[in-house]
């Protein structure tokens, strides 16, 4: 049953309108937990939309059964990923503020109330407010209660921070102004895993404000079936790297070398380590990971502002991996007793 608590009153005297959008893709095992958390809010949402992103018929039927018990709207579309599903939900809604929720996560009872109350009064360029999360396993068992504030800087104040580090602004713990969202064209649907960093960076660049609430509002359930794992995340990461490269060409006259100083320190360890892991496990994606590393290396080699030492070490790494067998990589890893990511950071730093 929908809570009856009245929403907080804005400075203009009218309650802010909020829509909650939940992308759904074959997630019948989790969706009831997510939906239930939305309808248990201390301040209710004005609209709740579950976007069926091309799920199997039996999974879609599970939504129909759930909708008989909870008053949410189902929106059907062809499969296009989370970003595409969220965009469709926004387009089908009318509320002034947007909240998102992944199908395997769930809100704490004061999610909407906390974020709405953090909207600055009379801020004509309000972009988004975001908060912390609980980390939990697939069953919702809490692992830690402060994820966001332990990573990166909050709130966001510098484009250099946004490029050098993962943002740790998660859609499931955010409230976004429709005005800002539409001004940047919403989520870029080519990404699966980096669509959130991309969206919030573009909102920042448009001059919209952001606020951080040092309080958990969502339970983030991480498991091997989530978007954070697997080949889709690897592909998305490389696409995002290349998009940032196009958005931020080096500015020699201003002494700003984006590839060397921000993008390489952030992404280099991932690209090399993913290639190592693919070889070590003899993954079916070994060729693809090697191709990603080779393309990344070509970009680095072509940049005149990256030092010779860094280029040489990357070239040596590339040559070694191209001629390594899974057994050789496993042997080196066992001998050094260092995780791949740490070995590669040493290679990069020299």
- Directed axis angle between helix 82-91 and helix 195-205, to 10°? 50
Residue 21's closest CA among 127, 94, 79, 78?
94
Q: What is the pLDDT of residue 120?
A: 95
- d(Cα 167, Cα 156) in Å, to the nearest integer? 8
How many residues does the structure list for the chain?
Answer: 350
Q: What is the pLDDT of residue 10?
A: 42
Please give the structure tokens belonging to residue 249.
């060409």
Could you tell me the sign of the dihedral formed by the alpha carbons of 27, 28, 33, 39, in that order?
positive
Per-residue pLDDT of the chain in tens (350 residues, 90 and over written 9) = 444 444 444 444 678 999 999 999 999 999 999 999 999 999 999 999 999 999 999 999 999 999 999 999 999 999 999 999 999 999 999 999 999 999 999 999 999 999 999 999 999 999 999 999 999 898 888 998 888 887 888 999 999 999 999 999 999 999 999 999 999 999 999 998 899 999 999 999 999 999 999 999 999 998 755 444 578 889 999 999 999 999 999 999 999 999 999 999 999 999 999 998 888 888 898 889 999 999 999 999 999 999 999 999 999 999 888 877 766 666 555 544 445 545 444 544 43
Residue 260's closest CA among 301, 313, 306, 311?
306
Q: What is the pLDDT of residue 347?
A: 44
Place of tokens 């730093």: 349
Residue 143's closest CA among 221, 200, 78?
221
Q: Which phi and psi angles does 289 have, rounded to 5°?
A: -65, -40
Tell me if 63 sits within 8 A of 74, measured CB to CB: yes
- d(Cα 94, Cα 186) in Å, to the nearest integer? 15
- d(Cα 294, Cα 93) in Å, to the nearest integer? 44
Tell me if 89 sits within 8 A of 75, measured CB to CB: yes
Residue 268's closest CA among 278, 259, 279?
259
CB atoms within 10 A of CB 301: 12
- Whole-number Cα distances in Å, 205 to 7, 164, 172, 241, 248: 31, 15, 21, 17, 12
Q: What is the pLDDT of residue 146?
A: 86
Tell me if 84 sits within 8 A of 189, measured CB to CB: yes
């Amino acid at each position: 049953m929908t809570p009856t608590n009245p929403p907080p009153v804005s400075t203009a005297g009218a309650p802010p309108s909020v829509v909650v959008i939940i992308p759904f893709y074959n997630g019948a095992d989790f969706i009831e937990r997510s939906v239930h958390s939305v309808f248990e809010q201390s301040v209710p949402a004005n609209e709740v939309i579950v976007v069926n992103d091309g799920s199997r018929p039996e999974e879609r039927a599970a939504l129909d059964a759930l909708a008989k018990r909870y008053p949410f709207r189902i929106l059907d579309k062809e499969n296009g990923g989370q970003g595409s599903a969220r965009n469709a939900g926004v387009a089908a809604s009318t509320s002034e503020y947007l909240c998102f929720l992944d199908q395997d996560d769930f809100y704490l009872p004061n999610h909407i109330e906390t974020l709405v109350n953090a909207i600055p009064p009379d801020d004509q360029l309000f972009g988004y407010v975001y908060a912390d999360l609980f980390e939990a396993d697939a069953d919702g068992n809490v692992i830690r209660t402060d994820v966001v504030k332990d990573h990166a800087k909050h709130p966001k104040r510098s484009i250099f921070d946004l490029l050098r580090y993962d943002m740790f602004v998660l859609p499931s713990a955010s409230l976004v102004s429709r005005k800002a969202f539409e001004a940047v064209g919403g989520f870029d649907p080519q990404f699966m895993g980096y669509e959130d960093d991309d969206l919030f960076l573009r909102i920042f660049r448009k001059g919209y404000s952001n606020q951080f609430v040092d309080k958990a509002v969502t339970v983030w359930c991480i498991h091997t079936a989530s978007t954070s794992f697997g080949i889709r995340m690897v592909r998305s990461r490389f696409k995002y790297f290349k998009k940032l490269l196009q958005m931020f060409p080096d500015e020699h006259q201003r002494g700003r070398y984006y590839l060397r100083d921000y993008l390489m320190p952030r992404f280099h360890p991932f690209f090399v380590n993913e290639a190592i892991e693919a070889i070590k496990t003899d993954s079916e994606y070994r060729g693809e990971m090697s191709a990603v590393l080779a393309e990344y290396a070509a970009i680095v080699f072509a940049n005149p502002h990256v030092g010779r030492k860094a280029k040489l070490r990357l070239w040596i790494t590339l040559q070694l991996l191209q001629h390594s067998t899974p057994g050789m990589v496993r042997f080196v890893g066992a001998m050094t007793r260092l995780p791949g990511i740490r070995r590669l950071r040493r290679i990069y730093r020299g």
